[in-house]
Amino acid sequence: MFTGIIEDIGTVRALDNQGGSPALSVESRLPADELKLGDSVAVNGVCLTVSDMSKSMFTVDLSHETLSSTTLQYCMLGHRLHLERALTLSGRLGGHLVTGHVDGVGEVISKTSRGRNLDLVLLAPSAVVPYLVSKGSVAVDGVSLTVNDPNGQRFQVTLVPHTLDQTTLAERKPGDRVNLEADLLGKYVRHFASGHSGRGIDEQFLLEHGFLSKDPAKP
């Protein structure tokens, strides 16, 4: 589990596909003494497992599913990637609950400077659209951001100066692809409300549980 607060920007130093098992080696400033084999690291919003490491570099294996469903398939040497270690129970939840399980790849439609801020308009895939709620949360390449003006597949996020300084999102341009993860709480609410877990929440359910009155004259 992660928070969407980026700890470091790493650089791709090696790409290995020996034996049909892709691996990615990333140079980073994450504390080597706090990172060990088997740890989870969010790489551009994708939860991956450390399989090898040195003082300034770690390696993660990439499954074919990860490559086919995230932007990591486009990685090249020198690319800069957002990094975040897994949340500890004693840590602060500064962003929102992020699992590192990407729901779909979105596309940057436009970028507009507004004073010191930068607005990005993004196009989301259909799997993400139901969870785009105004003032809700979304992870863009692993960065916790607030959804503004959702309209069908389009929505906007505003990058404040700190986010611009600590991430690579200012480098995105129209046509660029980004990893999107919808809000975890929204997924569960929609799952239960839609009845996929059994009975859905409808008017009869609300009546039976005292949330609505049978008397139309009463609220």
pLDDT, one tens digit per residue, over 136-187 is: 999 999 999 999 999 999 999 999 999 999 999 999 999 999 999 999 888 8
Q: Which of these ranges, 13-17, 57-61, 92-96, 178-182, has the smallest mean pLDDT?
A: 92-96
User: How far is it, in rounded angstroms, from Cα 207 to Cα 74?
Assistant: 52
- Per residue in 97-125, pLDDT (tens digit) is 999 999 999 999 999 999 999 999 999 99
Regarding pTM above 0.85, the answer is yes
Q: Token pair for residue 106?
A: 């979105």
- Token look-up 């309209």 returns 151
Band (pLDDT 50/70/90 cuts) for residue 202 is low
How many whole angstroms separate alpha carbon 43 and alpha carbon 26?
9
Output the six-digit token pair for 16: 């290995």
Which pLDDT band holds residue 126 (cuts at 50, 70, 90)? very high
pLDDT at 203 over 90: no
Residue 219 has what pLDDT?
Answer: 54
Instruction: Give pLDDT, residue 195.
Output: 63
Q: Average of pLDDT values for 38-60? A: 96
**Confidence grade of residue 7 (pLDDT, cut at 50, 70, 90):** very high
Burial 190-216 (b: 16+ CB within 10 A, else e): eeeeeeeeeeeeeeeeeeeeeeeeeee
**C-beta separation of 158 from 121 below 8 A:** no
What string of H, E and C letters represents the secondary structure of the chain?
CECCCCCEEEEEEEEECHHHCCEEEEECCCCHHHCCCCCEEEECCEEEEEEEECCCEEEEECCHHHHHHCHHHHCCCCCEEEEEECCCCCCCCCCCCECCCCCEEEEEEEEEEECCEEEEEEECCCCCHHHCCCCCEEEECCEEEECEEEECCEEEEEECHHHHHHCCHHHCCCCCEEEEEECHHHHHHHHHHCCCCCCCCCHHHHHHCCCCCCCCCCC
The CATH number of the structural domain formed by 104-193 is 2.40.30.20
Say which amino acid occupies 71.
T
- Read off φ and ψ for residue 129, nearest 5 degrees: -50, -45
Reported confidence tier of residue 92, pLDDT bands at 50, 70, 90: confident
Instruction: State the fold for domain 8-85.
Output: Elongation Factor Tu (Ef-tu); domain 3 (2.40.30)
Q: Which two tokens stand for residue 41?
A: 């690291």
pLDDT value, residue 181: 98
pLDDT tens sequence across 56-84: 999 999 999 999 999 999 999 999 999 99
How far, in Å, CA of 150 to CA of 133, rounded?
7
* Residue ranges matching CATH 2.40.30.20 in the chain: 8-85, 104-193
Residues 13-35 have a mean pLDDT of 90
- Please give the Cα distance from 67 to 107 (Å, whole number): 17
